[in-house]
Amino acid sequence: MDRACFLITLVFIFLLTSCNNSNKSVYATDSFKKGETIYKTLCISCHNIDPRKDGILAPNIAGANYELIKSMIMTGKHPVGVEPKWPDAKMAPLPHLKEHIPDLHEYLKTFK
C-alpha cells in the first residue's frame, strides 16, 4: 500500500512538472519566432542580420532591453538617460509594430 502511494505521488509530480514545462516553452518559442521573423524581415534593412554586429545603417542591438526597444519603435528616440550607440544617426519610429515589441525583445535578449 505504501509503495502504491509512493508511485502515484511520483506519477502525479511527473505530470505536474511536464505540463508546466511544455506550456512555458511553447509560449517562449512562439514569441521568439515572431520576433525573429520581424527582425529578419524589417530591422535588417538597417541593422545587421547578426544583432551583435553593426549594420550598414544602424548599430548593434544585441541584448537591448525592453524599454530601449519600445522607445525606439514608438518614438525613434532613446529613453531619457540612455546613451545612443550612434549619436549622429536617427531611426524612424515603427509604431505599427507596437504589439510585437515583446516578441522583438524575446528574440533580441537571447544575444549578448
For the chain, report the end-to-end CA distance as a whole number of angstroms: 53
Tell me how far, at minimum, the Cβ of 27 lies from ligand HEC, in Å. Answer: 20
Rounded CA separation 108/36 (Å) = 8
Cβ partners under 8 Å of residue 39, min gap 6: 47, 51, 104, 107, 108
Residue 82 CA: distances (Å) to CA of 61, 68, 69, 86, 105? 13, 8, 12, 12, 17
Map the footprint of ligand HEC across residues 19-48, applying CB under 6 A: 38, 42-43, 45-47
Closer of 13 and 108 to ligand HEC (Cβ): 108
Write the binding mask 43 to 82 for ligand HEC: x where contact by CB under 6 A, - elsewhere: x-xxx---------xxx-x--x---xx--x----------
Provide the binding-site residues for ligand HEC, judged by CB under 6 A.
Answer: 38, 42-43, 45-47, 57-59, 61, 64, 68-69, 72, 84-86, 89-92, 94, 97, 104
